[in-house]
Amino acid sequence: MHDFAEKSAERLGFRPGDPIEPLVAKLRGHINLRSPTFADDEVPESIRVAPDGTFQIFVSSMTSAERNRFTIAHELGHLLLHFPLIKRIDEGAGMVATRWVDENDPNQKRAEWEANWFAAAFLMPATAFQQALATRGSLKSVANFFGVSARAAEVRLETLGSAELI
């Protein structure tokens, strides 16, 4: 999963710290800010993909830029990981993925985990993350470099098993 995310970023020309919004546009997508009141098909922290692959990502207007950046990468994970599987089954199908899944459905839960793993590796590739740890001096500085929250950087650190590098 992490390798796929890192290779996807490379293939798309996305480097650590790059703004993510131009990439969404390049992939034929649009980002929409949503308030806590929204239509059922425009839930914040979700993606809606049309059968032709165009898509809309909905993020909350009440969260930080760092949180929204991770959410956008998470939704790109759904686009790149899960939409091709749906298209293989039904060429004319679209896809909707939301943060709120049926906790009794292991496939939905797995898809959310996969999108989180994708987002972390996409935004914070392992080698670049370890280099940033070695040169930036603090996890907060590393988080700022990648444009993510301190908590996202902390989780990435734990995932990479690099806690001894701090």
Render pLDDT for 47-105 as a digit per residue (tens, 0 to 9). Answer: 999 999 999 999 988 889 999 999 999 999 999 999 999 999 999 999 999 877 778 87
Residues 60 and 132 in one domain: no
Quick check: 79 and 47 in contact, CB under 8 A? yes
| Rounded Cα gap, residues 97 and 78, in angstroms | 7
Indicate if 92 and 153 belong to the same structural domain.
no
More confident: 14 or 111: 14
Are residues 118 and 149 located together in one domain of the fold?
A: no
In the chain, the number of structural domains is 2
pLDDT value at residue 105: 79
Distance CA 125, CA 121 (A): 5
Band of pLDDT at residue 165, cut at 50, 70 and 90? very low
